[in-house]
């Protein structure tokens, strides 16, 4: 990352399948929610990662996705969950099995408050990503606890509960001295009120950035059809008939030619676009494939984000052909250096 001037590691550290990060407040989360005892991140290891990144310098911002995609919490606390592992029609309740999300009528976010409080102290970055993606209101409509709560509280609805949950959660993040980050689908769909405090990850389409800044939010461009690097390798889910939902594969040219500010003409709104990120989800990536999936596409992303899409010499959009020729030249030079270093072990690690 440091070689390519990528300066933020957005770490989606928990999801429906595993809770691998140590919790001192709720130790049962990792005791019951980690894959194995050696597949977790103790406090000390996380601190080492943060310090290692800082020396490069790279920020490490955690994401604790809530209230959706939290099935794993049910291993320790089923009493605060809704719509657990609905089968066989799991795709009615979520983007992937097993389904399950926090019960938004249960003490209005006390578990989420514990998560935010504990991990805001562990992760020193000013940003705290609360997720908010992959929500399906149908999940909650079928929960008897939520149904009873709505009946007992005139004027409340599923929508108002979601809005209240996000308002309180964002307030807690701010109380901890952090800047809230959230996914676009939660912030745009449920009428969250304090827009200027939250930074929104715009991922649903290439037009999302414009929609986000039009609402008054600051935006990070993460369009799936430009910046999702795990796509195009087939699907591991049973409802996509072999094709991944976000296919096809995005070559570096697709990434390099995307300008998230291109359709935003208001200079004030352009300033609300803070940057972008490329995303690599780990459902089909591991230590064997991660470098191949990230690079050189992440390098192309970094260059276009830092330097912009306009060639200062011609005042026109940068020519992909010229970039390709430069890559070819660089590749040849690298091969020469590597061949030289293999022949001289004293310099083998100075490339």
* Distance in angstroms (rounded) separating the CA atoms of residues 108 and 80: 10
Question: Which of the two residues, 337 and 229, has the higher pLDDT score?
Answer: 229
* pLDDT at residue 342, as a whole number: 35
In this model, does residue 285 exceed pLDDT 90?
no
pLDDT at 334: 44
Tokens of 191: 């009428």
CA atoms of 333 and 344, how far apart (whole Å): 17
Phi, psi (5° rounding) for residue 200? -110, 130
pLDDT score recorded for residue 344: 36
Band of residue 106 on the pLDDT scale cut at 50, 70, 90: low
Encode pLDDT of 28-86 as tens digits.
Answer: 999 999 999 889 999 999 999 999 999 999 999 999 999 988 999 999 999 999 888 88
Secondary structure (H, E, C), the chain: CHHHCCCEEEEECCECCECCECCCCCCHHHHHHCCCCCCCECHHHHHHHHHHHHCCCCEEEEECCCCCCCHHHHHCCHHHEECCCCCCCHHHCCCCCCCCEECCCCCCCHHHHHHHHHHHHHCCCCEEECCCCCCCHHHHHCCHHHHHHHHHCCCCCHHHHHHHHHHHHHHHHHHCCCEEEEEHHHHHHCCCCCHHHCEEEECCCCCHHHHHHHCCCEEEECCHHHHECCCCCCCCCCCCCCCCCCCCCCCHHHHHCCCCCCCCCCHHHHCCEEEECCECCHHHCCCCCHHHHHCCHHHHHHHHHHHCCEECCCCEECCHHHHHHHHHHHHHHHHHHHHHHHCCHHHCCCC
State how far the Cα of 29 lies from the Cα of 72, in Å rounded to an integer: 8
CB 278 within 8 Å of CB 227: yes
Over residues 163-203, the pLDDT tens digits come to 888 888 999 999 999 999 999 987 777 766 666 789 999 99
Cβ neighbours, 10 Å, residue 92: 13
The answer on pLDDT for 313 being more than 70 is: yes
Query: What's the CA gap between 185 and 208, in Å, rounded?
Result: 10
pTM: 0.89
CA distances from 253 to 74, 80, 129, 311, 345 (A): 42, 45, 29, 16, 36
Q: Which two tokens stand for residue 97?
A: 């099995």
**β-bridge partners, 199:** 181, 218
């Amino acid at each position: 990352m440091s070689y390519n001037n990528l300066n933020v590691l957005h770490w989606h550290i928990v999801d429906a399948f595993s809770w691998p990060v140590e919790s001192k407040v709720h130790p049962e989360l990792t005791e019951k929610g980690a894959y194995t005892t050696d597949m977790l991140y103790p406090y000390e290891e996380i601190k080492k990662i943060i310090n290692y990144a800082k020396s490069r310098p790279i920020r490490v911002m955690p994401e604790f996705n809530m209230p959706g995609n939290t099935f794993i919490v049910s291993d320790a606390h089923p009493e605060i969950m809704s719509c657990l592992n609905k089968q066989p029609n799991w795709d009615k309740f979520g983007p992937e099995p097993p389904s399950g999300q926090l019960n938004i009528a249960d003490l209005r976010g006390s578990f989420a408050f514990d998560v935010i409080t504990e991990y805001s102290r562990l992760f020193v970055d000013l940003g705290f990503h609360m997720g908010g993606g992959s929500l399906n209101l149908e999940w909650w409509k079928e929960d008897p606890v939520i149904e009873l709560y709505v009946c007992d509280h005139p004027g409340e609805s599923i929508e108002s509960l979601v809005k209240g949950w996000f308002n309180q959660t964002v307030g807690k993040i701010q109380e901890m001295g952090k800047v809230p980050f959230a996914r676009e689908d939660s912030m745009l769909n449920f009428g969250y009120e304090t827009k200027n405090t939250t930074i929104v990850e715009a991922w649903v389409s290439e037009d999302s950035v414009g929609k986000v800044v039009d609402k008054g939010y600051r935006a990070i461009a993460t369009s799936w059809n430009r910046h999702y690097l795990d796509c195009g390798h087939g699907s591991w889910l049973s409802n996509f008939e072999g094709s991944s939902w976000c296919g096809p594969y995005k070559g570096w040219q697709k990434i390099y030619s995307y300008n998230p500010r291109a359709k935003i003409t208001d200079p004030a709104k352009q300033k609300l676009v803070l940057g972008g990120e490329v995303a690599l989800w780990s459902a089909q990536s591991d230590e064997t494939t991660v470098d191949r999936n990230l690079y050189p596409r992440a390098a192309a992303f970094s260059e276009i984000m830092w330097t912009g899409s306009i060639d200062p010499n011609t005042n026109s959009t940068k020519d992909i052909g010229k970039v390709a020729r430069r890559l070819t030249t660089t590749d040849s030079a690298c091969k020469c250096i590597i061949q030289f270093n293999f022949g001289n072990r004293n310099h083998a690690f100075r490339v």
